[in-house]
Amino acid sequence: MLLSLEGLNKVYSTSSTKVQALCDVSLSLSEGDFVAVQGPSGSGKSTLLLTAGTMLAPDSGRVSILDETPYAMPTNMRAAFRAKHIGFVFQQFHLVPYLSVFENIQAASLGLPASKRMTNSKVEQLLEQFGLESRSRHTPSQLSVGERQRCCIARALLNDPKLLLADEPSGSLDESNARIVMQELRRFSQNGGAVLLVTHDSRAAQSADRIVQMQSGVLTC
Amino acid sequence: MRNAETGQLTLMGLVIREIQFRKWSFLLAIFAVAVAAAMIFGSEALLRVDQQMTERFLQQKQLETERYIQDHEEQVATTGAKLQDTVRKQMLTLGFNILILPMDVDLSKLHLDGSITATMPYSYAEKLSSSNIVTVNHLLPSVTKRVRWTEQELDVVINGTRGEIPIMHRALKQPMLDAVAPGKMVVGATIQQRLKLALGQKVTLLGREFTISKIQPERGSIEDMSLWIDLAAAQEMLGMQNLIHAILALECECSGDRLSEIRREIAEILPGTQVIERYSQAVTRAEARTESKRAADEALAMAKTDGQATLDRERVQRTALLQKQQALNSMLEPSVIVSTCCVLAVLAFHNFRQRKSEIGLMRALGLGSASILGVFLFKAMLIGALGGFIGVASGIAIIVARILRMRPLVSLPEIWTSASLTAPAAWIPILMILLTVVASWLAAFQAIRQDAAIVLQGE
Ligand SMILES: Nc1ncnc2c1ncn2[C@@H]1O[C@H](COP(=O)(O)OP(=O)(O)OP(=O)(O)O)[C@@H](O)[C@H]1O
Ligand SMILES: [Mg+2]
């Protein structure tokens, strides 16, 4: 099992309110799986991705990735584990504003030991794959939103992760761009990775093997 | 900024890129550090240089004062020597002289008409000359008597004098006064006028013939009515063989208070005699000169104390100024450090706020806390080092310009070394690095503490 989530609960509590973002969520992904999580805004989709991505510890429940339990690891080990095995595509991109497209993709290797960092030819290959060769020296602010999104996915793929967590990767893309992105995700899963895709776009969800619904923190198949 | 070999992005490269991107806030931070460094170095260096300059100034002043005093000392010394010489000469011509008389001479009568009533044996003069007396130099035994110059119908004072009796225990000196040679006569001014005498004229005095050999200038005393002849002739004429009236001692080595010493010494050798001063105005003059010498000495002493006082006042003033400067520095330095720290902390915190999402991303990319802390603190160190160097460099430029303006007085390398300016030039950049690291610490700490998940979910 590549990713296994069992009985996850997560409550965000502020001084006045409590929001149950995850409510007894269980989900498993094997190698080659492409799962789409669909649900309305605020239903806890991003929370689920971050929890699965070892970025946000659940209040209860168990997360295991490649038969390891990252939340049991010390912080630095978990970070290294994350760098090695997980790729993120963020809803808000989180591209580094002062790095070029090339460097933004390169930056994915910063969490790896120097000897294991990806070569520049891999970066160039990704640029080509996502149609960004001519944008390689541009900074994110000089890119269109679609280009940013593609840059973001290229970055997530640089380290050859096992698990790709994508939060609305096609949310701001036109139809053809969205189709390219979905094709890449599909190809990633076909190459032995697992993709957990969050989207409220049902057309995008169609690309996935499996669609699960999220509603107020509750996951239903 | 990539790894040189592989062209890969490094954390240091990330820092440099970020600096290039937010260059203005970076430059602002560097400027703040540079200003602080320049101020601290400037105030420190200024103080040190001023201390050196003050030291030098005071040394020079001291030297000047000493030279002034030395000059004056020399002046006083030469003046004093001249004075002494003058006094000595004065003594020779006027003669600070004493008159040794028999004890029972009526002094008022002597002053009045120049006649001496009592006598002492001629041997007294010899006794004195063969004694060990040290206070008198030249001894001139004499007889003095007021008589009627019957041939001229004139009352005169006859002085019989002879050549000097050498003082035995001393080498013979040039005789002080020429004795009146036998057959010659020296006359006072009044006698000369009354009798219309001329040099070389022959006159008869109490049956003896004399030739006028010298006419004394007018003195306004009984001497104007006196005449001088050879002692032996006078003794015979006055019926005073082997008797004398007085012994004149010329060029006494005495002034003022030593008279009593002379009196004592003479009284021991010649009992039954008395000693009177002869030309006491000489003493007055000598005293006046002694007084003027004393005054000069006093003025010199005053110049010394004055010079020292001025110097001391200068030293006190300068020290006070330096202390004030030091006090100012001791207040300036911490306040500059604290305010710079605040500015840097605000800038660092602002930087952290701008980079929240970036930090979240770094976390997601698997960077550990050490790396993130490193990114922030490396930047802080760069700011501290660059700002420190720029600040110290400009501080040095200012100080050097200031030193160069005082150049004839001091040389740059010399004052640089003596004020030991290398030390602050070295430790201030280090202080600035520490300062920026400390100031950025809070922001860096916030950076590693922030919850990446929250940031990544948000904008
Ligand atoms: N840090 C937080 N503190 C408090 N509440 C939070 C926090 N993050 C998320 N929430 C709340 O948790 C719930 C789930 O949020 P989440 O971001 O997972 O939703 P989402 O399904 O991704 O929504 P969207 O489709 O709009 O991105 C929301 O109601 C949100 O308001
Ligand atoms: Mg979301």
pLDDT at residue B211 tops 50: yes
Between B40 and B247, where is the model more confident? B40
Q: What is the DSSP letter of B242?
A: T
The predicted-structure confidence for B62-107, as pLDDT tens digits, reads as follows 888 888 888 878 877 777 777 766 665 555 444 457 788 888 877 7
Search chain B and give the residue with CA nearest A92: B459
CA nearest to B244, candidates B96, B118, B335: B118
Name the band, by pLDDT with cuts 50, 70 and 90, for residue B173: very low
CB contact under 8 A, A111 and B6: no
The pLDDT assigned to B377 comes to 94
The answer to whether B456 touches A165, Cβ cutoff 8 Å, is no
Which CA distances in Å does A196 have to A89, B159, B248, B374?
10, 154, 144, 33
Which CA distances in Å does A213 have to A35, A220, B416?
11, 5, 78
The pLDDT assigned to B279 comes to 56
Q: Is B156 helix (H, G, I), strand (E, B) or coil?
A: strand
B425's CB contacts (< 8 A; 6+ apart) are B41, B392, B396
> Could you count the other beta carbons within 10 Å of the beta carbon of residue B64?
12
> Could you count the other beta carbons within 10 Å of the beta carbon of residue B242?
9
The pLDDT assigned to B2 comes to 54
Q: Is A64 helix (H, G, I), strand (E, B) or coil?
A: strand
The pLDDT assigned to B290 comes to 67
CA A168 to ligand 2 center in whole angstroms: 8
CB A92 less than 6 A from any atom of ligand 1: no
Between B34 and B282, where is the model more confident? B34
The pLDDT assigned to B15 comes to 93
Q: What is the DSSP letter of B6?
A: T
DSSP lists the bridge partners of residue B209 as B204
> CA B166, CA B140: separation in Å to the nearest integer?
9
Note the helical H segments in B355-364: 356-364
Q: Is B227 helix (H, G, I), strand (E, B) or coil?
A: strand
The DSSP annotation for A14-38 comes to -SS-EEEEEEEEEEEE-TT-EEEEE
Quote the percentage of chain B above a pLDDT of 90: 27
**Cβ contacts of B14 on chain A, cutoff 8 Å:** 96, 99, 107, 110
Least confident stretch, B107-121, B177-191, B405-419: B107-121
The answer to whether A174 touches A97, Cβ cutoff 8 Å, is no
pTM for the full predicted model: 0.68
Rg of chain B (C-alpha set): 51
Strands A86-89 and A163-167, by their bridges, are parallel
> Could you count the other beta carbons within 10 Å of the beta carbon of residue B405?
9
**Cβ contacts of B21 on chain A, cutoff 8 Å:** 97-98
Q: What is the average pLDDT score of chain B? A: 82
A211's CB contacts (< 8 A; 6+ apart) are A35, A36, A37, A38, A205
> CA B46, CA B416: separation in Å to the nearest integer?
11
pLDDT at residue B372 tops 80: yes
Search chain B and give the residue with CA nearest A50: B453
The predicted-structure confidence for B381-404, as pLDDT tens digits, reads as follows 999 999 999 999 999 999 888 888
pLDDT at residue B184 tops 70: yes
> CA A215, CA A202: separation in Å to the nearest integer?
15
CA B171 to ligand 2 center in whole angstroms: 133
Among B362, B372, B379, B456, pick the best mutation site for testing chain A contact (most A Cβ within 10 A). Answer: B456
The answer to whether B157 touches B140, Cβ cutoff 8 Å, is no
The pLDDT assigned to B265 comes to 80
The pLDDT assigned to B264 comes to 80
Within B183-244, strands assigned E span: 184-187, 202-205, 208-215, 226-230, 243-244
The predicted-structure confidence for B281-322, as pLDDT tens digits, reads as follows 445 555 566 666 777 778 778 877 887 888 888 888 888 988
Between B251 and B357, where is the model more confident? B357
CA nearest to B53, candidates B310, B398, B313, B409: B409
The kind and range of the H/E element at A212 are: strand A210-215
The DSSP annotation for B95-137 comes to ---EEEEETT--HHHHHHH------EETHHHHHHHTS---S--
CB contact under 8 A, A50 and B457: yes
> CA B458, CA B329: separation in Å to the nearest integer?
49
Mean pLDDT for back-to-back runs of 10 residues, chain A (221 residues): 94 91 94 93 92 94 95 92 93 92 93 84 92 93 90 93 91 81 90 92 85 92 76
- Alpha-carbon dihedral of residues B243, B249, B255, B261, nearest 10 degrees? -50
DSSP lists the bridge partners of residue B9 as B2
Between B173 and B298, where is the model more confident? B298
> CA B364, CA A88: separation in Å to the nearest integer?
7
CA nearest to B420, candidates B48, B51, B20, B34: B48
B408's CB contacts (< 8 A; 6+ apart) are none
CB contact under 8 A, B367 and A99: no
The predicted-structure confidence for B133-169, as pLDDT tens digits, reads as follows 766 667 788 888 888 888 888 888 888 887 666 665 5
Report ipTM (2 d.p.).
Answer: 0.92
CB A46 less than 6 A from any atom of ligand 1: yes
CA A22 to ligand 2 center in whole angstroms: 13
pLDDT at residue B280 tops 50: no
The answer to whether B373 touches B383, Cβ cutoff 8 Å, is no
Mean pLDDT of B202-208: 88
Q: Is A197 helix (H, G, I), strand (E, B) or coil?
A: strand
Nearest to A103 among B9, B370, B457 (CB): B9
CA nearest to A27, candidates A59, A64, A78, A79: A64
Terminal-residue alpha carbon distance, chain A? 18
The pLDDT assigned to B390 comes to 96
The predicted-structure confidence for B107-143, as pLDDT tens digits, reads as follows 777 766 666 778 888 888 888 877 777 666 677 888 8
Search chain A and give the residue with CA nearest B459: A92
The kind and range of the H/E element at A5 are: strand A3-13
Whose tokens are 């973001």? That residue is: A152
The pLDDT assigned to B167 comes to 63
For ligand 1, mutation pick of A9, A11, A12, A198 (most atoms within 8 Å of CB): A12
Size (chain A), residues: 221
Amino acid type, B55:
E
Which CA distances in Å does B183 have to B140, B155, B234, B405?
19, 20, 11, 88
The predicted-structure confidence for B213-267, as pLDDT tens digits, reads as follows 888 888 777 788 888 888 888 888 888 888 888 887 766 665 555 677 777 888 8
The most distant pair of C-alpha atoms in chain B lies apart, rounded to whole Å, by 157
Going B8 to B9 to B10 to B16, the CA torsion angle's sign is positive
